[in-house]
Amino acid sequence: MLFITGATGTVGSRVVHYLKSKDVNFKALTRTPEKLMNDQSDHMTIVTGDIKDCSAWSDSLRGVETLFLILLDDAEEILQAARAKGVRNIVFLSSASINRSDAAYNENAMKHKKVEEQIQAYGFQYVFIRAEAFMHNTIYWRDLFRYNKGTIRLPALEAKLASVHEEDIAGVISVVVTDFDRFSGQVLTLTGANILSQRNILTEISKQLGQSLELEEQTIADFRSYMSKYIAEEYITLRVQDWEYTLKHKLAVTDTVLTILGREPYTFREWIAEHLGDFQ
């Protein structure tokens, strides 16, 4: 039996879709069970609950062999419950930021590394899936395209991304959770098909929209001041840390998606085409 947390999230919903097509029994945890009602199958059991309050649903972990876990600030409670209920294996969606030379003071890397270490300390068999930035993160640029007046301002236009399509992440997770022994103990780093600058990505969105836009470099200070009205400071800092790192260091692509799924990763161009309506 498998247990999928974040079952209606960006990645989790796709994992659920994959698992439904396989002859495998699984439980799906979500705060919004109505989003799964149309996807009901004999193989899926919906568990209603918040991942941060596992005391309310931890009994559902009984009979589960493999748990797919998304990030928690502190996974202690859920790991204690999982061990008590007999869970043996954990597949954790981690972050490729752990692989970088600034990992010791990168907030994103530190959060994910803490959970990896907690999983190991509890003695679970594990697979850590360290994904580069989700292509879906680009959605936060949509208002730049919706309301621009011919110019888009953004810092660090030459900062690089090796972003990976959420469909590829979900595909790899689905293979790993259903064939856990094959991957047990491995750390899998996922990237997209290529490395692109923010300028490259903005230009491609503009091209697909049929807009002629000027790109203007914004200062980090101006970005912080503006974005602080809309998102928490920690998320602004994460973006700035990523930009500063890639302006000084080279990124690399991996063949993990190709090796596990037997096809090339989806490209950013394909992702943009799928989500073009969000930017119009």
User: pLDDT, tens digit, for every residue of 92-101?
Assistant: 999 999 999 9
Residue pair 18/12 in contact by the 8 Å Cβ criterion? no
pLDDT of residue 219: 93
The domain spanning residue 73 has which CATH number?
A: 3.40.50.720
Domain assignment present for 38: yes
What does the block give as tokens for 170? Answer: 């979900």
Q: Quick check: 242 pLDDT over 70? A: yes
* Amino acid found at 201: I
Q: Yes or no: say if 70 and 5 are a contact pair by the CB < 8 Å rule.
A: yes
Amino acid at 121: A
Considering the domain boundaries, does residue 69 fall inside one? yes
What's the pLDDT score for residue 102? 92
Tens digit of pLDDT for each residue in 80-90?
999 999 999 99
**Shortest CA distance to 139 belongs to which of 21, 274, 1, 18?**
274
Q: Name the band, by pLDDT with cuts 50, 70 and 90, for residue 40.
A: confident
pLDDT at 235 over 90: no
Q: How many domains does the chain divide into?
A: 1
Mean pLDDT of 219-238: 87
User: Of the given ranges (34-38, 70-74, 177-181, 259-263), which has the lowest mean pLDDT?
Assistant: 34-38
Global pTM reads: 0.95
Cross-strand bridge partners of residue 153: 216
| pLDDT single digits (tens) 15-26 | 999 998 888 999
Residue 229's contacts (CB-CB under 8 Å, 6 or more residues apart) are none
pLDDT at 38 over 80: no
Examine residue 232 and state whether it is found in any structural domain, yes or no: no
Segment 113-118 shows an average pLDDT of: 97
Over residues 129-155, the mean pLDDT reads 92
Mean pLDDT of the chain: 94
Specify the pLDDT at position 39.
67
Judge whether 170 lies within some domain.
yes
Average pLDDT over residues 53-80: 94
Query: Of residues 164 and 41, which shows the higher confidence score?
Result: 164
Q: What is the pLDDT of residue 263?
A: 97
In a 3-state reduction of DSSP, which class is residue 169? Answer: helix
Task: Quote the pLDDT of residue 206.
Answer: 95
Percent of the chain scored above 90 by pLDDT?
81
Looking at the domain assignment, is residue 72 inside a domain? yes
Q: Is residue 152 part of a domain?
A: no
Assess if residue 245 is contained within a domain.
no
**Residue 140's pLDDT is what?**
87
What is the model's pLDDT at position 231? 82
- Residue 56, domain member (yes or no): yes
Q: What pLDDT was estimated at residue 197?
A: 97
Q: 42 falls in which pLDDT band (50, 70, 90)?
A: confident
Q: Does residue 148 register a pLDDT over 90? A: no
Q: Which position has the higher pLDDT, 223 or 131?
A: 131
Closest CA to 29 of 12, 11, 56, 6: 6
Q: 8-17 pLDDT, tens per residue? A: 999 999 999 9
The residue segments making up the domain with residue 55 are 2-132+165-191+252-263
Output the DSSP codes for 199-267. HHHHHHHHHHHT---EEEEPPHHHHHHHHTTTS-HHHHHHHHHHHHHHHHS-----SHHHHHHSSPPPP
